[in-house]
Amino acid sequence: MAEGTTRPTVALVDVDALAANVALLRQVVAPAQLVAVVKADAYGHRSPLVAAAALEAGAAGLAVALVEEGIELREAGVGGPVLVLTEPPPEAAEAVVEHDLTPTLYSEPGRAALEAAAARRRAPVGVHLKVDTGMHRVGVEPDRLLELARAVADSEWLGLEGLWTHLAVADGSAEEDRRFTAVQLARFAEHLGILQSAGLRPAVRHAANSAGAIAHPASRLDLVRVGIALYGELPSPAVAEALALAAPGAALRPVLSLVSKVVAVRHLGAGERPSYGRLRPLPTPSWVATVPVGYADGVPHRLFGGGGEVLIGGRRRPLAGAVTMDQIVVDCGPEGDVAVGDEVVLLGEQGGERISAQEWAQRTGTIAYEILTGIGARVPRVAVARDRSHPHRLGGR
C-alpha cells in the first residue's frame, strides 16, 4: 500500500525502466536528439516524475499537448525545453511567455497573439512551425508556410527555431503505408527547401514520432519526439520488428504496473453467475476473489467479454464477471489457493507471467495508448526502483 493512501490499488512507475528506455532509444536514433513526450500526464504515468527522470536520463527536452501541461511541469520545478505540440489559443499566449514554453504555430492569429504577448513582456520567444504534409489534422497549409515563416522571422520578438510535421502511418507494415511515409518526408524536405531558398533556416527539423524514430531512419532528422515507446510499449508489430533489427538483443521495458490486493474471497458453486448482468456461469465450483479496482480506475468494461485475466500467485486467473465501477471478481478455480491480502497484478509481471497494456488493447479492441492514458486519476502513482524498494506516493494524485 502506498504511503499516504488507504487504497490497495496503485500504479507503480518504474523509474529505472524509464531511464533504460531513454538510453536504448537514444542509442537507436543517434545522432538525432530525443524529446520525451509527456502529454496526457505522461500517458498516465505522472508527468512531473517522468519529465524529470527523462531529462536526467539524457532526453534533450520535453513535449506536451497543452499549455496547461507545460505550466504543470514548470510549477513542479521541471526545467529544460518544453515544446507545446498544438498552437496555443490566443488567450494562452501570455502564459507561454511567462512560463518559458516553446510554442508550435500554424496560423497567423496564433502568431500575432504570441508576438503581442512577447512584446508586452519584452521576452523573445523561439517558435516551431508545424506544416501539414498529409496527416490533415492541424498544421499550416503548405502554400501558406513561407508567408508565416517570414512573419515570424521578421518579428522583433519571435524567432524561427524549428520546423516540423507529423507522420500518419509510420507504424504501418503495408507497402502503401511505407510509401506514404516516404511521401510525407519528401514533402517536408521540399517545404524546408523553399524556406532555405528564401534565406529562412530553422535550426531544428523534426518529423518522427515513436514509430518513425524506430522504423524509418530517414525521419530522424535533428530530433525525434518519442511518446509510447518511452513507456515500454510499441505502436505495432512492424515497429517491434524494426527495433529488433536496430538493437539486436535489446528490449524496451514496460514502465507502469497496475496492482491491487484481494479484499474478499468466497466459494461459489458451479453455475453461479457473479457480478452485474449475471453474464456467465462458473464452469466448476470455484473460489472467487473480489479486487477493489474497476472501470473508474481504467479497467475497461469490455475486458470481461474479451477474456481478460489478472495475475494472482504468479498464475493467470480469468475474470468471473462484468467489470464494475469500483471492483472486479476473479475466478481462482477450485483449488482455494487465494487469500485476502494477496497481490493482484492487472498490468505488469508476477511469477514470470506478464500482462501488458497491448494485451488489454487486443482484448478490448483499442490501442495501448488508450489503456495507459485511461488509468484513472484516483489511482495513486507510486515511483519505484527496479526492486520495488522504498516506494513513495507521488504528490497530487
**Active site residues per annotation:** 39, 276
Asked if 57 and 19 touch (Cβ cutoff 8 Å), the reply is: yes
Is 10 within 8 Å of 291 (Cβ atoms)?
A: no
Rounded CA-CA distance 356/386 in Å is 17
- For 239, counting Cβ atoms within 10 Å of its Cβ (0-12 exposed, 13-18 middle, 19+ buried), the class is buried
Residue 360: closest CA among 319, 315, 394? 319
Q: Burial-class residue 307 by CB neighbours within 10 Å (0-12, 13-18, 19+).
A: exposed
Which residues have CB under 8 Å from 83's CB, separation 6+?
35, 61, 62, 63, 64, 101, 102, 104, 128, 162, 225
Q: Position of cell 476473489?
A: 289
Q: Is 334 strand, coil or helix?
A: coil
| Cα torsion 130, 135, 137, 140: sign | positive
- Distance between CA atoms of 315 and 323, rounded to whole angstroms? 20
